[in-house]
Amino acid sequence: MIMTTDADKVDLPYEKFLTLGAGALTEAELLAIILRTGTRNCPALALAKEVLSLAGGKGDKLNCLHHLTLRELMEIPGIGEVKAVKIKCLSELAMRMSRERAAGGLHFDAPETVADYYMERMRHQEKEIILLLLLDNKLKLIEEYMISLGTVRASLLSPREVFLEAFKCRASNLMLLHNHPSGEPKPSSMDIAVTRKIKEAGELMDIPLIDHIILGDGCYISMKGEDLL
């Protein structure tokens, strides 16, 4: 019979957590605890290292874990649907915690602040996502609201929907933000027309639209900065 010593236990992720705490664990060890089991030929820790290695091929391994698809994860031997969903939920929780913590102290008073906050979340999206940012009188984020997923069209981005959300949150200022999956943030004629329509409505409602920021791949355009509002 093989005996497990205290020294051996510290090499096992779960036992290491109980002995030394979460801060002593590597990213792979933390993920191995979430995965719980591996396969006959690949224990959970080795499986976790494979997942992080795949994420690392897309850039920073922890940030890019969020961008791995279910299909990509399930291509790793030993990662089935259940484990893949766990990983996606874990990364989504981490992203939300990070955004909530960051937003608490942010003032969206400069386009670069907004672009920096949303860039990693939006730059890899394959479809256009339009966000309405609801701000207080100090330009702090109260709430964000997804208006549409697909494309910027007047039929989807109606002033009525925008200002219903603004009134619900008692917002003092508004900002629009969306991504261009092409990576090029240059606004289209539709982007400009829809933005001006919302801006005019905001002037009537006394809830100003202060900017519309378009994100590309590592770059952005402020429509206010380009005198397009």
Residues 6+ apart with CB under 8 A from 229: 195, 196, 199, 209, 211, 212, 223
Q: Domain residues for 201? A: 106-222
Listed residues 101, 116, 135: the one ending a domain: 101
Listed residues 101, 130, 147: the one ending a domain: 101
Residues 6+ apart with CB under 8 A from 52: 27, 28, 31, 61, 62, 65
Q: What are the structure tokens assigned to 34, written together?
A: 């979430």
Q: Is residue 24 domain-resident?
A: yes
The owner of tokens 């909530």 is 100
Q: Is residue 227 domain-resident?
A: no
Q: Is residue 96 domain-resident?
A: yes
Report CA-CA distances (Å) from 88 to 50, 67, 199.
15, 9, 37
Domain count for the chain, please give it: 2
Q: Is residue 1 domain-resident?
A: no
Same domain, residue pair 214 and 110: yes
CA distance 35 to 47: 8
Listed residues 53, 83, 101: the one ending a domain: 101
3-state secondary structure of 123: coil
Q: What are the structure tokens assigned to 72, written together?
A: 């990509």
Write out pLDDT tens, residues 5-40: 444 344 589 999 999 999 999 999 999 999 999 988
Q: Is residue 228 domain-resident?
A: no
Task: Quote the radius of gyration of the chain (alpha carbons, Å).
Answer: 22
Evaluate whether 37 touches 46 at the Cβ level (below 8 Å): no
Q: What are the structure tokens assigned to 195, written together?
A: 């933005």
Evaluate whether 176 touches 195 at the Cβ level (below 8 Å): yes
Write out pLDDT tens, residues 40-88: 889 999 999 999 988 876 545 666 787 788 999 999 999 999 999 999 9
Query: For residues 111 and 63, which has the higher predicted lDDT (pLDDT)?
Result: 111
Same domain, residue pair 32 and 137: no
Give 152's pLDDT tier (boundaries 50, 70, 90): low
* pLDDT recorded at residue 7: 40
Query: For residues 1 and 150, which has the higher predicted lDDT (pLDDT)?
Result: 150
* pLDDT recorded at residue 91: 85
Look up the pTM and report it: 0.61
Q: Residue 115's closest CA among 215, 10, 3?
A: 215
Same domain, residue pair 71 and 173: no
CA angle 55, 61, 67 (to 5 degrees): 50
Write out pLDDT tens, residues 215-229: 999 899 999 999 998
